Amino acid sequence: MLTTDRMDDTLIDVPRGLTNVVAAETALGDVRGHEGFYHYRQYSAVELARSRSFEEAWYLLLFGDLPTRPQLDAFRWQVAGARSIPDEVVAMLPRIVRVTGGADSLAGLRIALGAVAAADGIRPLFDTTADARIDTAIRVAAVTPPLLAALHRLSTGEKPLPSRPDLGHVANYLHLLTGEVPDARTERAVSAYMTAAIDHGFNASTFTARVIASTGADLGSAVVGALGSLSGPLHGGAPSRALDTLDAIGTPDRIDEWVTDAVLSGDRIMGFGHPVYRTEDPRSRMLRTIALGFGGDRVAFATAVESRVLALLAELKPGRQLHTNVEFYAGVVMELCGIPRDMFTPTFAAARVVGWTAHILEQAVDEKIIRPSSRYVGQAAPAALPPTV
């Protein structure tokens, strides 16, 4: 058990991992794990992903309502104008790729985004106005996809491309990443995934961002801290690992043998199970539909694996109620849309940065530092220091 303080300095027990502990209040959204439902402000997040653009969901989180057409047009132009990478940082990118080995775009992003914050002179949240914080939030979220795409292209020996103001946020990212303007189906599929990934309760990276924001630090630092949290494979790194599972199984005739061996060995099957949902992950359901719309052998194999994994888990782990989570079909959809496998988690980050910045803005209003306590379980403190020997 972990502990926290009461106002009278006594300690109370709370669960490991702070499960079900309310750490703060938020008006940005909620995850209802037992219902298989989550929302951004007053709207279903999945319905937003299915029917609205990424920018509309972004605007909703920042300002509280969906934009009118004139508001949306103005917001898109503001986002497009905030994508530029400072010249000083552009010059740094090849060296960042060399330092990180090129394979870890998130590690490169942590350095590059910190450099953008420094080059822009982003001030501490404690010292800025609400309007200035919003402008900074848009700037940081808008420049993240161009930074990721530039780092990836440099790592593969390709020249980074300039952003196109005529393209929407998602289409521009795909263009910068692949060198091609996406067709409507591809853009819509990636937009749906990224919109669904913007926010999801007080997950590890979002909570990290809010803790840093509670100190009054600058918004760039809070986002870089969230990125550090996201580097762990238990948070955000599973889409590519879910595809690794499909590759390891290989063919339909090997599904039962592979899954049974994995379950009996105690190995985790990536893409299944979620710490919050006790029913099917609504994001998985949406992405499965998108994948089926593409069709093909890869999708047919993925659905066959999903069906058998769920059946075998029910048989071998009765009562566990494990379901497919978002990572399983997220990997399939991103692969179908031409996103390189090592850019799956960075693409998730390019979406989640919008949620992080919204939470940072909300936390900045509180002006109360997040400072929990711990229970000491080491050796008893001596009354006095022993003599020097």
| Catalytically annotated residue among 274, 306, 335, 359 | 274
Q: How far is residue 359's CA from residue 140's CA, in Å, rounded to a whole number? A: 13
- Residues 29/39, Cβ–Cβ less than 8 Å: yes
Q: How many residues make up the chain in this entry?
A: 389
User: 35 catalytic, yes or no?
Assistant: no
- Other Cβ atoms less than 10 A from the Cβ of 5: the count is 13
User: 34 catalytic, yes or no?
Assistant: no
Tokens of 195: 């919109």
Residue 78, CB-side half-sphere exposure with 13 Å CA sphere = 17
| Catalytically annotated residue among 55, 187, 306, 327 | 327
What residue has token string 């937009």?
191
Strand partners, 11: 5
| Residues identified as active-site | 274, 327
